[in-house]
Amino acid sequence: MTKKDKEIKELLDIEVNSRNTTFEINYDKPDPLLVARRQNNDYAILLCALFAYGNAKLVVKFLDSLDFSLLEQSEEQIEKELKNHYYRFQSSKDVIEVFKTFRRLKQEYNLENSFYEAYKKENNVLDGIDFLIQKIRLTSSYSSKGFDFLVGNSLKRDKNGIIKDSNAPYKRWNMYLRWMVRNDNIDLGLWKSIEKKDLILPLDTHTFRISQKFGLLKNKNYNLKSAIEVSKKLKEFDSSDPVKYDFAIYRLGQEKLF
């Protein structure tokens, strides 16, 4: 490890330790986890992650307006309760359809088990993400720009079936995995079958910029290749839990401290 890497690791370790507190997430410093940690099932938490794009305060405001118990109720009730709910790229129809789709999935599938079946073959979280996205798309006959943006499209693969690193970073899906797999005062740690070392950094504009500034990332494109590159670099700092640095890096960018 170079002298600069040691200095960056020391800085990030301090940030991780100081920010690893429930007080770090509140309505003054909003994060979708504020709402996600109040939910009692994987599907509701996944909805919190998928809607987590845009201004953090607006994300939390929208999530606070949702009644996640609708996942246990009838589709007629979902349509009635969500007819006036919309968020950025998602119309009320999009919101209704994703709730109806998740309701159907919740009745049939354990989300962690479904993810694990695809992940375990190569210990690759991308295979798990791709599998869940395909399952969502197969369960729903609905498609629109807003719905497709929300749940994502299947990852592009080469002729040998290998996932291309030119894909988007799938930030919200990787953030969901961080929440579910890691266990500390920030993350929920509800999934026990996935290894922390296999997680990929949920690359967003803040973590992308700070990672480049700190020399953790050389690739100049905002894509999956960059997310994987940063994750590999952070494994040099902590081989068993590289994504523990994500929240600290994100806050450093969000708060414009660097």
Q: What is the pTM of this model?
A: 0.96
Average pLDDT taken over every residue of the chain:
96
Question: How large is the average pLDDT for residues 25-47?
Answer: 96
What are φ and ψ of residue 188, in 5° steps? -85, -35
Mean pLDDT (whole number) for 141-154: 96
At 207 the pLDDT is: 96
Predicted confidence band of residue 258 (pLDDT cuts 50, 70, 90): confident
d(CA 83, CA 96): 7
Rounded CA gap, 167 and 184, in Å?
Answer: 30
For residues 75-81, average pLDDT: 97
